[in-house]
Structure 1
Amino acid sequence: MTSPASYTLPDGIVGLKGPVDRPAPGTLPLRGDLAHIALAGRYLAAHYVIPQMRRVGSETVTLKIAMRDDADDGATIDAGTEIELLDCAGDWAWIACGPEGPSGYVRLGALAPAA
């Protein structure tokens, strides 16, 4: 996985030139309100975030497509895997395995404590 320090941050005004296909949920770390900073030149979002590096805790997790226990399942991430924390809401974390995904939601308790 690429560390946030190695991302190329956009220079100047960020803009899109023409239509852009919306990726499937659970793939790229992109929502209507927020996107991974590495996607700034490719996708439009209200805000971009520089992720915090974290790890999955001691158990394998299955990403959820939405912040609900009954939401569709996404990718499975092995215990101890380094991930990028993009956002927290309540006891849910929106995470990604890098700027190309996969991305999804897990309970905050599924992540290892911050170092």
Structure 2
Amino acid sequence: MTALAIQDSHTRPPRIDGILAMTGPSVTADPGCLPVRGDLAHIKLAGLYFVPHYSVPMPHKVLPGAVLRSAGREDADAIRELPAGETFNVLDIAGNWAWGQLGEEGQVGYVALSGIEVIGQ
């Protein structure tokens, strides 16, 4: 049986003394205007918010009558009616709902897939 070398950097990480801490900005996101959830954020926020995944927006056109909601279900609170023809940047799709942001600076929430369409279709 071969013993591990004490100073072998390929088999043992270097010893770290002291307290380990994350450094850098620690900012709380306002869920109403920043495209950040606990599991996902807009790629433009990669240097500011730590989440498991970042998403590149997929632009969609808002159809008449589309409603932005606080959760991906019909009985969720309505945040606002979205203006027809505007761009809704989809960051995630689950079931019949898309999560994203109105334009680049607008409100964030969920919209039914039936209320948006891919731009160019």
Flag whether TM exceeds 0.5 (same fold).
yes
Checking the alignment, whether the CA contact within 8 Å between 2:87 and 2:103 is kept in structure 1 is no
Checking the alignment, whether the CA contact within 8 Å between 2:43 and 2:56 is kept in structure 1 is yes
* Divergent runs of 4+, >4 A: none
Q: Which of 43, 48, 62 is the matching residue for 2:49?
A: 43
Pairs aligned (count): 99
Checking the alignment, whether the CA contact within 8 Å between 2:62 and 2:116 is kept in structure 1 is yes
Gaps of 5+ in 1: 1-14
Which piece of structure 1 moves more, 88-97 or 74-83? Answer: 74-83
Normalising by structure 2, report the TM-score: 0.71
Alignment partner of 1:28 is 2:34: yes
Q: Higher Cα Rg: structure 1 or 2?
A: 2
Q: Which residue of 2 aligns with 1:8?
A: none
Q: Deviations over 1:47-104 (max 9, x none)?
A: 00011111012x1322111112111222332011112111110011112124533111
Which structure has the higher relative contact order (CA within 8 Å, separation 6+)? Answer: 1
Normalising by structure 1, report the TM-score: 0.74
Q: Which residue of 1 aligns with 2:19?
A: none
Q: Percent identity?
A: 42
Checking the alignment, whether the CA contact within 8 Å between 1:56 and 1:79 is kept in structure 2 is yes
